[in-house]
Structure formats: structure tokens, C-alpha cells
Amino acid sequence: MSQIRIMICRVNEKNPAEMTEIASYDLPETDIRTLDPERALDEMEAMLHKQGQAVLKRALQAQFEEIDRDLVEAYRQDFSP
């Protein structure tokens, strides 16, 4: 059994192969046996929309955390004794 994981990484500008994982999001598995054949496409589209929002939310949270950390560090350096 395998699962799809979306990884959010910081990429080094000088070496794009060098990445640091910031966050990850595991997509839930879908049991096609539980889908109603007449509504399967609609159900999958609704699930895709919901999962897309969750992934985007996690990516934006990771970005905010990185910016917040950088701002706090800059503030500390400006006002250190």
C-alpha cells in the first residue's frame, strides 16, 4: 500500500537540488468501493476541492511561520544589548 504526500520545501537558490522540508501533507486514501457510481465524479471533485484548500492552507502557514521567524530574528538583532 502506498500513499501520496505533498511536501513543502525551501529550495536553495544556488543549488536547487538542495531542499529543506518545511511541512508535508498526506492525502487521504480513497476507497473506490465506497463511492456511488452515479455520483463518484461529483464526490471526487468535492474531495479534491477540500484537500486542495487544506494543502494551500498548510503551505501558507509554513510561509507565515518562515516570515515570522525571520522578522523576530531581525527584531532581536536590532534591539540586542
In angstroms, rounded to a whole number, what is the distance separating the alpha carbons of residues 55 and 58? 5
- What band does 1 get if pLDDT is binned at 50, 70 and 90? low
How far is C-alpha 10 from the chain's CA centre? 12
Q: Which triple of cell numbers denotes residue 46?
A: 468535492
In angstroms, rounded to a whole number, what is the distance separating the alpha carbons of residues 21 and 73? 20
pLDDT at residue 13 greater than cutoff 70? yes
List the domain boundaries for the chain: 5-78
pLDDT at residue 27 greater than cutoff 90? no
Of 22, 30, 3, 27, the residue nearest 61 (C-alpha):
22
How much is the pTM?
A: 0.69
Determine contact, residues 29/3, Cβ cutoff 8 Å: yes
Higher pLDDT, 2 or 68: 68
